[in-house]
Chain A
Amino acid sequence: MVEVKNLGKEFVTPNGKITALQNISFAVAKGEVFGIMGASGAGKSTLVRCLNYLERPTTGQVRIAGQNLAELSPRQLALVRQQIGMIFQHFNLLKLRTVAQNIAFPLEIAGVPKEETQQRVDELLDIVGLTDKAQAYPHQLSGGQKQRVGIARALACRPRLLLSDEATSALDPETTQSILTLLKKINRNLGVTIILITHELPVIRQVCDRVGVLEQGRLVEMGSVTDVFNQPHAAATRRLITTSGLVPPTTARTKSAVTRSTLAAGEVV
């Protein structure tokens, strides 16, 4: 579904070059939920924006469903983007459009006829459980409801891939749970591949199949969520796990077990 090869990104700023990403390679299979975790400033947002070429990589390749994005014309790129849904930390809804009109927005852009749009919007409102809020404006909604609108909008064009950049980071724990459940449901029932980026480790552990760890623009570790959380190899991963207060589940019972695990992890590097 997604193939990233030797991806690098440099920003040229008045104060010199910033290397945001360096030599990133990974692949995400169809139907997978792939997580990317990292501290703030690690390059997560830049990476996810490279996946739909909102940010053009400086080096390397991004392939979506086999298509190398670098080779596409603007028009073709627009078509590929219509097949990739994206959700955001701050929802990014149009504030002067109703919920229904927000969800209809990508369909309008894709030139879907009015009647079909209406039907699709009703379906989506049902999927995210907001049928009764169809005529509300974003400022009348809670954070969780806004993110549901964001998700419905991202699904409007029946994408095969969903990109999520810190989608739950502005939400309280309870709302986060309901959004994660919804994402899981979308992955299972609609077969949508999800790439989820967050600094919140519990989110990754709860919904992802595999995870990559980003530190200072480098992918320092990658593997199944169980492996990475139980036997973190990279120092950066261990630091993330420690600072987030998570303890590997297998070692959570006794204090001595925690010590052992830490030592074991230490031996690897």
Chain B
Amino acid sequence: MSSLLADKALQKLIFTATGQTLYMVGLSLAIALAVGVPLGVLLVVTAPGHILPRLKLNAVLSSIVNTGRSIPFVILLFLLMPVTKLLVGVSIGTRGAIFPLAVAAIPFVARVVESSLQEVDPGVIEAAQSMGASPMQIIAKVLLPESWPALLLGFTLTAINLVGYSAMAGAIGGGGLGDIAIRYGYQRFRNDVLLETVVILIILVQITQSLGNCLALKASKGQRRPD
């Protein structure tokens, strides 16, 4: 069995793959937030009894989000291949994985935003309305800021899910740590490589979670529970 440390070329591959994973997760998270946050906000404010009730729109958005969430990621990967190819030119590789990852995360982010914003005290919304706040002002100055700690925790969870999904994307040629684990670890019986990628993934998840917890705690301004 060859020594892991001596295997310089392989170490370099793992290093690159870690970078690819971070790149896939980072970019897909950014896209998912850009689409998912407004979608989640719309889900909340268009609900009956909220600040901009639009019952039909709400029902349509809600069923789109539910559909998105019910498709398993592996199936979504294949389903989206033609669209990915059209959009980014390739349907595999690190770049090809970003689009399906983002699409998978959008409904998740939307639900995270929805459940966080629903926790905002209706009394506070009413107080803002009594001051003449417009719906946009209520979204920007009440709903989002007041649920910021909960949102941070939800986004952390999204990022962690994306690390897992990115490994799955890697398995079908998406690059990143999942790709290395499959091609070198599994197919070439390099248990040490398999183990190393898993350890790196665990560390990535731990760092993300700790960072998220820390930011959420700070954002909760010393309240007993960072809800």
Contacts and interface: CB of A to CB of B under 8 A. Distances in A.
B142 A94 contact: yes
Nearest to A84: B130
Contact of A54 (B130, B134, B222): B130
Interface residues of A, number: 30
Nearest to A93: B124
B126 A92 contact: yes
A187 B220 CA distance: 36
Interface residues of B, number: 25
Interface stretch (A101-109, A115-123, A235-243): A101-109
A139 B142 contact: no
B221 A92 contact: no
Contacts of B219: 96
Contact of B124 (A79, A86, A92, A110): A92
B146 A109 contact: no
Contacts of B134: 74, 78
B126 A54 contact: yes
A81 to B, nearest CB: 4
B127 A88 contact: yes
A163 B132 CA distance: 14
A108 B123 CA distance: 19
B85 interface: no
A84 B127 CA distance: 11
A86 B146 contact: no
Given A78-B132, A106-B131, A109-B141, A94 B124 contact: yes
A74 B136 CA distance: 13
Contact of B222 (A81, A108, A139): A139
A52 interface: yes
Interface string A3-21: 0000000000000000000
Given A81-B132, A86-B130, A109-B128, A92 B121 contact: yes
Given A139-B222, A139-B223, A92 B133 contact: no
B127 A109 contact: no
B155 interface: no
Contact of A81 (B123, B130, B148): B130
Contacts of B145: 94, 96-97
B56 interface: no
A165 to B, nearest CB: 10
A28 interface: no
Interface string B216-227: 000111111000
A139 B224 contact: yes
Nearest to B142: A94
Given A94-B146, A96-B145, A81 B127 contact: no
Interface string B112-149: 00000000010110111111111001000110011011
Contacts of A92: 121, 123-124, 126-127
A54 B132 CA distance: 10
Contacts of B148: 96
Interface in A71-97: 74, 77-82, 84, 86, 88, 90, 92-97
Given A94-B142, A105-B141, A82 B223 contact: no
6 closest A-B pairs (Cβ-Cβ)? Answer: A78-B132, A81-B132, A92-B127, A92-B123, A86-B130, A106-B131
17 contacts: A54-B130, A93-B124, A93-B127, A94-B124, A95-B121, A95-B124, A96-B146, A96-B220, A97-B145, A105-B131, A108-B141, A109-B131, A109-B132, A109-B133, A109-B141, A110-B131, A163-B130
Given A90-B123, A96-B219, 19 more contacts: A54-B129, A54-B130, A78-B132, A81-B130, A82-B131, A86-B127, A88-B126, A88-B127, A93-B124, A95-B124, A95-B146, A96-B221, A105-B141, A106-B132, A108-B141, A109-B131, A140-B222, A157-B131, A163-B130
Interface of A: 52, 54, 74, 77-82, 84, 86, 88, 90, 92-97, 105-106, 108-110, 137, 139-140, 153, 157, 163
